Amino acid sequence: MPASACSYFPATHDLIKKYDVQSPRYTSYPPANHFRDNASPTEYQNYLNQRPTTVGPLSLYVHIPFCRDICFYCACNKIVTRDKNIASRYLHSLEKEIKLKSLFFTESRQVKQLHFGGGTPTFLNPAELMRLMRMLATHFQLVDYDSREYSIEVDPRTIDEEVLALLVGLGFNRISLGIQDFDLQVQEAINRVQSYEMVAGLVKSIKQHGFKSLSFDLIYGLPMQTEESIVQTMDKVIKLSPDRVSVYNYAHMPARFSSQRQMDRYLLPNAETKLALAQRIRQSLLGAGYQGIGMDHYAKTTDELALALQQGTLQRNFQGYSTNMSLETIGLGLSAISTHADRYTQNVHDLARYHELLGNDQMPIEKVCELNREDILRRYVIMALACQMTLNFGEVNKRFNIDFVQHFKSELVQMEQMEQEGLLDLSADSIALTELGRQLLRNICMVFDQYKPLDIAYCSKTI
């Protein structure tokens, strides 16, 4: 197996060097590091009261921050604990938050999308999971028809048949498993050992229980990963046949996430090797009939995500990619983000503060980002590129009543440069990304990001 990426990836060494820079992941625009601190709970309540009447389905995101063990690579907002009692108090505050926020959303709005993320949502025991669903059902209109998307992130080490059956009973029809890599040496290096046999048994049970969609999360750029090992991991992934695969580029930021220093004794793959790993994963999945979705997702062609891409309704959000079902997402729990048409609001990160604010019946928020017209325009451009890999200027002109070529004069000069480098095809009225551009998508999006010079150290490398 060759060590070099060059036979798979057309980027020259100079291009890799030029574009291996820090950049946001564009799960939102403006990126989350531009959310303003000191959000006011009262002002948020006023906003919710006064915003234009919003109709249509709702999306709920519930964050369960607890984990039993630490995975060294982790960049999530989590609390590692073996204290099982911690969840009960958390649910007490969460119930207050659910009640408080539900007051601002009319009862007729159906919850078509529900996602439990973490942390480890299955840190909650069966009684706690039931309690949480009951709270949500009391204050929001949950639905039971087939097209609902109720999903939960599952750590394969924390679930058994009993919980799986319970999740079906509670209405979940989608499961996402944190796989990362099947290679034992990689798993030991990242402190997350979970055998293929155990995962294969779990996958069999998930399919028997009739979940509509099974998704795997993988990470490349981890210690001990080689092209050879990743090919073997991908053979196992394909054998298990998940409906979706999310492939994440490991974000090494030990200054922000101290557990990552535990991997200091290992060499991390360099930028060229990471690109080769990403390319190996892509080849395996495309070869097995999956469709590439945006910058880091893959789906079977019959999956809703692939259909949303074909219909032009694919969206990028804090969970990655999503079908376009809701204009508003209500974030519940520690650090959860709510999305409205012209605003993001983020909950507090500190557990004690979360309890304190809800103890005083206050919204547990700490950050906000109000979008002006220019932000909304640029968000549209960035999300179109990130989802569709193309951008039609006429469509933007119609939607925002602008002259794209005039408005984005300086950005188009940079697009011309990127065209010469083979990242995209530029015409009089469109941008279309090439295969190389797809891999450097974050760099292309960054050209349209007005905020990029600020706090760039917060961001991970693009490659």
Q: Shortest Cβ distance from residue 259 to ligand SF4 (Å)? A: 8
| Residue whose CB is less far from ligand SF4, 69 or 435 | 69
CA dihedral 394, 396, 401, 405 (to 10 degrees): -70
Write the burial class of residue 395 (CB in 10 Å: 0-12 exposed, 13-18 middle, 19+ buried): middle
Q: What are phi and psi of 322, to 5 degrees?
A: -150, 160
Binding site for ligand SF4 (CB under 6 A): 67, 70-71, 74, 76, 78, 118-120, 155, 178
Distance in angstroms (rounded) separating the CA atoms of residues 57 and 288: 34
Q: Shortest Cβ distance from residue 261 to ligand SF4 (Å)? A: 15
Q: Shortest Cβ distance from residue 349 to ligand SF4 (Å)? A: 14
| Residue whose CB is less far from ligand SF4, 51 or 157 | 157
Q: Shortest Cβ distance from residue 160 to ligand SF4 (Å)? A: 17
Q: Shortest Cβ distance from residue 119 to ligand SF4 (Å)? A: 5
Q: Which two structure tokens, joined as six digits, stand for 158?
A: 């924390």
| Residue whose CB is less far from ligand SF4, 80 or 432 | 80
Distance in angstroms (rounded) separating the CA atoms of residues 127 and 104: 28
CA dihedral over 119, 121, 124, 128, signed as positive or negative: positive
| Residue whose CB is less far from ligand SF4, 105 or 248 | 248
| Residue whose CB is less far from ligand SF4, 8 or 266 | 266
Distance in angstroms (rounded) separating the CA atoms of residues 279 and 274: 8
What is the per-residue burial (b if ≥16 Cβ within 10 Å, else e) of 98-131? bebbbeebeeebbbbbbbbbbbbbbbbeeebbeb
| Residue whose CB is less far from ligand SF4, 67 or 281 | 67
| Residue whose CB is less far from ligand SF4, 122 or 279 | 122
| Residue whose CB is less far from ligand SF4, 64 or 276 | 64
| Residue whose CB is less far from ligand SF4, 74 or 295 | 74
Identity of the amino acid at 270: N
Q: Shortest Cβ distance from residue 98 to ligand SF4 (Å)? A: 22
| Residue whose CB is less far from ligand SF4, 120 or 443 | 120
Q: Shortest Cβ distance from residue 175 to ligand SF4 (Å)? A: 15
Q: Going by C-beta distance under 8 Å and a sequence separation of 6 or more, which residues neighbour residue 124?
A: 64, 87, 91, 132
Q: Shortest Cβ distance from residue 206 to ligand SF4 (Å)? A: 18
In the block, which residue shows the tokens 């109720």?
Answer: 150
CA dihedral over 326, 331, 337, 341, signed as positive or negative: positive
| Residue whose CB is less far from ligand SF4, 155 or 419 | 155
Q: Shortest Cβ distance from residue 168 to ligand SF4 (Å)? A: 22
Distance in angstroms (rounded) separating the CA atoms of residues 375 and 419: 25
Distance in angstroms (rounded) separating the CA atoms of residues 77 and 190: 17
Q: What are phi and psi of 18, to 5 degrees?
A: -65, -40
Percent of the chain that is helix, strand, coil (3-state, to 5): 40, 20, 35
Distance in angstroms (rounded) separating the CA atoms of residues 431 and 396: 12
| Residue whose CB is less far from ligand SF4, 19 or 73 | 73
Q: Which two structure tokens, joined as six digits, stand for 456?
A: 């760039």
Contact 406, 397 (CB under 8 A): no
Contact 347, 333 (CB under 8 A): yes
Q: Shortest Cβ distance from residue 123 to ligand SF4 (Å)? A: 9
Q: Shortest Cβ distance from residue 80 to ligand SF4 (Å)? A: 6
Q: What is the DSSP letter of 156?
A: G
| 3-class secondary structure, 331 | strand
Q: Shortest Cβ distance from residue 64 to ligand SF4 (Å)? A: 10
